[in-house]
Structure 1
Amino acid sequence: MNEQFSKEDILKRQYDWGNGIIRIGKIYTAKGDYVKAAKEHIDDLYGYGESKVLFKPTKATDPQFRASKEEALSYFVGGNNEFPEDQGFALQPWEKVRFEVHGFIANFKQAIIMGNYFFIDANGGETKVEYTMGFFRAADNSLKLNLHHSSFPFKPE
């Protein structure tokens, strides 16, 4: 398909991503099958299996990248001995998410968006994260991530 990417479509997928993280946490809190929810989230949003995916999670330092679906799952829900620092980012749980977009670039093969996202917890506290997300059109014409870099803002000493 040679369909152009629209900013609105990319913004919707961003919110699909953020709301999916929130959903995983709610299922975890309700003692439901949060691992299944996380696998569905990854299948829906990330292009593992169709594309190389460059994923650098916010709270990942050693190793800092997640090259496979299993490694991404570890980041979101923990439980993988190869990634002992992964405590399950999606298990917070979070209540809301909002995005501030800095910029958007699109052509017929790739769309890239950059800015800040803010996850809000149950006490109203915000966690600010800087992000870059790259999307491509999968074989089923859905928009999938093949680039996701998140990091906390720099804090000078």
Structure 2
Amino acid sequence: MITQNQVIEAQNTWGNGVVKIGSLKDNRSECEKIANEFLDNLYAFQDGNVLFKPTKCAIEQFRATKLKALSYFIAGDDRACSEDKGFAIQPWTKVRFENTGFILEQNRAIAMGNYFFTDLEGNEAKVEYTFGYKLVDDNLKIDLHHSSFPFPKPEDDLV
């Protein structure tokens, strides 16, 4: 049975990976190497379908391949999707998860909530997420990644 602690550990690894990728933005070859390892270690692209809907995409909202996920995270001259700016190379200094809940099963887990990305000035961006994990060789791998900005709050006079 997958445990809540395993999911939280996977989330912390993911957040630390995003921060590490961003810290390498000025060393392109190392950034690409670490971003590729990040995707290989944390996502299940080698093991089947991955449903990936990143936050900042309007044209190609869904990314079904590792190459398109890599493009989203680090962009670059050879990016697979022209709209990508390199989400992970913002860079971010911290990522923290606030989980609303978990569905835990023998070989699958789903977590939903908000995660917060801290930029170099200390500003936090709040993003909603749903991650699905599957157990692959005793490791949790993401096979569902849905991320979006919260819906705008209604104006006080409209409520």
Query: Which range, TM-score by smaller chain?
Result: over 0.9
- 2:114 is aligned to 116
SS of residue matched to 1:36: helix
Residue 63 of structure 1 pairs with residue 54 of structure 2: no
How far residue 81 of structure 1 moved from its aligned partner, in angstroms, is 5.0
How far residue 93 of structure 1 moved from its aligned partner, in angstroms, is 0.8
Residue 18 of structure 1 pairs with residue 20 of structure 2: no
C-alpha distance in 2 between matches for 1:68 and 1:128: 26
Q: Which runs of 5+ in 2 are unaligned?
A: 155-159
How far residue 31 of structure 1 moved from its aligned partner, in angstroms, is 5.5
- 2:139 is aligned to 142
Paired amino acid for 1:142: N
SS of residue matched to 2:24: helix
SS of residue matched to 2:25: helix
Paired amino acid for 1:104: F
Paired amino acid for 1:5: I
- 2:5 is aligned to 8
Give the total of aligned pairs.
153
- 2:157 is aligned to none
> Which 4+ residue blocks in structure 1 deviate beyond 6 angstroms?
none
- When the two structures are superposed, what TM-score results if normalisation uses the length of structure 2? 0.91
- 2:97 is aligned to 99
CA RMSD of aligned residues (A): 1.4
Q: Relative to structure 2, which stretch is displaced further, 106-115 or 78-87?
A: 78-87
How far residue 51 of structure 1 moved from its aligned partner, in angstroms, is 2.0
Residue 50 of structure 1 pairs with residue 47 of structure 2: yes
- 1:83 is aligned to 81
Q: Relative to structure 2, which stretch is displaced further, 29-38 or 140-149?
A: 29-38
Larger Rg: 2
Q: Percent identity?
A: 49
How far residue 151 of structure 1 moved from its aligned partner, in angstroms, is 0.3
Paired amino acid for 1:147: L
Paired amino acid for 1:21: V
Residue 155 of structure 1 pairs with residue 152 of structure 2: yes
SS of residue matched to 1:146: strand
C-alpha distance in 2 between matches for 1:81 and 1:94: 20
C-alpha distance in 2 between matches for 1:36 and 1:135: 23
SS of residue matched to 2:67: helix
- 1:37 is aligned to 34
Contact 1:5 1:111 (8 Å CA) reproduced: yes
